[in-house]
Structure 1
């Protein structure tokens, strides 16, 4: 069922307690089955004559036999994460690669290189690597292993071994040619449904993001106003002996409300807003994955058309078509499996995050 209604619907049998709701939904792969643990921490600022940048410590612990050691510690900067993402997309064009945070901050919420910006990015990079580690295919990618284990100079050397300029240009030309051809002729209905689903999902997740940011702004403005009213009532109490105690009590109440609102805002900025933004990025990634699948299908369609118009070289075309049919089948199977996995994780994230917001709201109004 590809309906979006299931994302925020609960069975009538779900217990009332928000904590109980969260406990109902678990990933298939529990922590006890994991053999690769990654932590991104310890951001460090570097200032050179040319640029200023941040590196993060990446600590990996594993029991896998293909690793030479059980623990690694390396430092990586943002452009290293970008390189890894591009290599994963190159190796697995129809798998759903987790999103990275953007290079520059969105919506002007915090300044670049501020403590808040660096911590927000650190969390996103940590999630990016752990989503790859939990993926049944991406986790065994050779470039991912090198990213986790190679020292800086080794990684730099490995990057230089990538495809040359002419190879990259050829890939770009094929992608453009495929897009010019327009809609593929023989797209399976399943992938048309995926495209329609993502169009609706993108609209809804962007709307949710706008609403969440509006709520956050209103809460922030409300909190700033309360911070002004508390001291005013304290000063007022000094000049009104008859109602001084009442004014002091009111000032204390305003102060408690302000602290409760700040905790509520922290819950929004640490959980809800990052989750919604991550799935906005996911929606863009999925649109790209579906386009790449269509490009592979388009290559096959064009060869079939060419074969129908050719009287010579039929054997050569038949061999190419056979290879393309295999390529299309592999691409389709990879996307089908990843699509189901992505939807399951997305539904878990939505349920757990919105349940967390509801629980925080309950605590807020109780306070």
Structure 2
């Protein structure tokens, strides 16, 4: 009997599902770019001072511009575009020095015209993946860039980060990270990703980009007080006009995150039990080997039986490795991916709050201007202002006209800012809708692959177990016949 734990969200698309936007599909197996063909040339370089609207406007350029640039990928993301990556073979380098590290073999197969080679193999370390993820997040703020596995693990404390179990688990996580990028219709076109996958001068690329990022950050970075103030105020701000689409996305994301957490705990217990069975079978095989030495009359039978149990222990090990390193890791990585989608929803809400806040400022300024234009204020503040002006010897009418003039200038500036904030908010809403659709497609593809792999691993375990014990039975029957004839 095979036990496969499936999240509830996979059984019914109407329950615990992140997607709330209708998506038209032609059917069949999801392709790397078959669901969304969003023509956005990622090679366009934007200055660090460019607004978020400038970033989003890339996606609204005419698709005919793509064919005018020879450096632009003409193969994807369509039914005929292929970009496949594999992360394997972790190796320890600089062993014996003060700074050893693990490198991973990245193999790429593609038919994109923007790549120099259709097949490439390069070694990358974890910090290279971190650099790629951070810069993609910075260059594509409208995308939910897949996260990397957390570096703060107990293996760093215990010193086991060079062990085969940890490096194999991380290789699987990095492989999922690259697969998610290659399935994304925008990120798979990023020039930085192409350099990461095939450039031999990747270290110089990191140094040059890091230097440009530092200079741009020093020129455009806001003050610490301004950043802290914005974060503090936005933590308590709520959007006045909520969009039900994104509220549903947030609620279903929370539910899916909760379901995945429950499934992860169950799979973790399953992996521990498989590990216990692996050890128990290995111990039992050792005991039978010792028993065979004490019983010469049935030594061959006991030795054969012990070998079969040892083979069964190896089968449990193979099943446990897939359950723990691949399937369980994919569930935890999906939880982190959902967190990226939630962060994107938070950014979208911030754009809406910016628009609403500027609109309120504009309304207040226009109301104050109209009030001053209708005549002098007779309230408490107007009385105090009049007394101060009397003390300073200022003409009341001149002061009132000056305040009206300043309000007119402020209103004109706020009108421009409100219009820009509205366009930015609306453009970001469109991008978030597409991003959630892309996330759902990537999630469905990944779940299908990992569940299929888990089913294959269980089938392989039972197939191996049947073959092992069938060989043992055949051997015992053959020896019995030989013993009867002799």
Alignment pair present for 1:153 and 2:200:
no
Change (3 A) 1:75 1:155: farther
Preserved contact between residue 58 and residue 73 of structure 1 (Cα < 8 Å): yes
1:229-308 equivalences under 5 Å are 229-240=284-295, 247-248=302-303, 250-308=305-363
1:78 maps to 126
Query: Which of residues 101, 116, 127 is equivalent to 1:53?
Result: 101
Match of 1:98 among 125, 130, 146: 146
State yes or no: 1:26 paired with 2:26.
Answer: no
SS of equivalent residue, structure 2 residue 357:
helix
Match among 178, 189, 193 for residue 140 of structure 1: 189
2-structure distance, mates of 1:36, 1:282? 21
Change (3 A) 1:277 1:50: same
Larger Rg: 2
Residues 1:343 and 2:440 aligned together: yes
The corresponding residue for 2:404 is none
Q: Which runs of 5+ in 2 are unaligned?
A: 1-6, 14-26, 35-77, 367-406, 466-486
Counterpart CA distance in 1 for 2:254 and 2:263 is 15
**What is the CA-CA distance between 1:9 and the residue it aligns to?**
5.0
Give 1:135 deviation, angstroms. Answer: 1.7
Q: What is the CA-CA distance between 1:223 and the residue it aligns to? A: 1.6
| 1:292–1:342 CA distance, 2 compared to 1 (3 A) | same
Is the alpha carbon distance of 1:362 and 1:155 closer, same or farther for their aligned partners in structure 2, counting shifts above 3 Å?
closer
Render the CA deviation track for 1:127-177: whole Å, top value 9, x for unaligned: 323422332112233443454434312321221101324634459447614
Query: Partners in 2 of 1:188 and 1:52 — Cα distance?
Result: 50
1:195 aligns with 2:243: no
2:137–2:143 contact (8 Å) kept in structure 1: yes
1:167 alignment counterpart: 220
Can you give the 5+ residue segments of structure 1 that lack an aligned partner in the other structure? 11-23
Aligned length: 351
TM-score computed with the length of structure 2 as normaliser = 0.63
In the TM superposition, what is the alpha-carbon distance from 1:119 to its structure 2 partner?
A: 3.5
How far apart, in 1, do the equivalents of 2:82 and 2:291 lie?
A: 62
- Structure 1 contact 205–280 (Cα < 8 Å) conserved: yes
Note closer, same or farther for the CA distance 1:239–1:153 as it changes in structure 2 (3 Å cut): closer
Whether the 8 Å contact between 2:176 and 2:330 is mirrored in structure 1 is no
From 167, 173, 178, the equivalent of 1:124 is 173
Q: Could you report, residue by residue, the CA deviation over 1:92-118 in whole angstroms, capped at 9, with x for unpaired residues?
A: 223221121222446899920223333
Q: Which one of 415, 418, 427 corresponds to residue 318 of structure 1?
A: 415
Q: Which moved more, 1:141-150 or 1:257-266?
A: 141-150
